[in-house]
Structures are given as structure tokens and as C-alpha cells.
Amino acid sequence: MHKAQALVIHCIDFRFQEMIDENLKKRGLFGKFDRISWAGASKDLQNVLNNASISLKLHEPDEIIIYEHEDCGAYEEDNSEETHRANAQNLINKLKEIKPVLKFTTQIATFDGVKEL
């Protein structure tokens, strides 16, 4: 088996890729994680959950990091931090049903940097 240290979930938006990668390097995780890049990150619960389930089964990560971001086109008009937080928490709750012992971190990428969500 190949073990990943983490599973990283983030949006496809190119504007935040470098910032997210730099954050992962600071965490010492770059090159040691599975990545799911999906429009809206946790917004499309079922598709992200399906892909995350594969990572959990095949690579057994110990941590999941969800990166939401401001000004997300997938969210259209309902683009508040509260909505991002609620969707990320909903995804976390579903993933805990699959593997309760995981560590979860939620972040939001803004034009000023990455911060805790």
C-alpha cells in the first residue's frame, strides 16, 4: 500500500493554486498528499465525497485539509464565508462517517493569504 500523509481538497480556481501549494510546503506536506481539485471545493458534496472515499481506501491519509476560497464562481451569489464553512463542515461530517479518526483542517484562501476558516 502507498500511504499519503494527507488528502487535500480545493477548488479548481487557478488564482489560488500557488498560494495553496505554498501553504502545503510550509506544512511539510508537498508531494506527500492526494489532491482533489473540484469546482467549489466542498460545494459538490457527493462528487468530492466519492473521490475522497477512494483516497481513504487506497492511501489511508491521516489528515484532510479543505481549502475554500473567496470570490468562488461555483458559489455564484451565495459566496459568504459562512456558506463555505457550512459546506466544508458538511463534508467533514460525511468523511467522519467513513473514517472517524481523521484530523480535519479547514482553510480559506483569500487575496491576502490563507487563513483558518
CA distance 50 to 69: 21
Kindly report the backbone phi and psi dihedral angles of residue 38, in degrees, each rounded to the nearest multiple of 5, phi listed first. Answer: -140, 140
95: CATH: 3.40.1050.10
The pTM (predicted TM-score) of the whole model is 0.95
Q: What is the pLDDT of residues 33-60, one digit of tens each?
A: 999 999 999 999 999 999 999 999 999 9
73, part of any domain: yes
38, part of any domain: yes
pLDDT of residue 1 exceeding 90, the answer is: no
Helix H or strand E segment including 56? helix 45-59
1, part of any domain: no
pLDDT of residue 21 exceeding 90, the answer is: yes
Residue span of the structural domain in which 51 resides = 6-116
pLDDT at residue number 48:
97
Q: Which cell numbers in the block locate residue 52?
A: 475522497
Separation of first and last alpha carbons in the chain: 32
Q: Number of folded domains in the chain?
A: 1
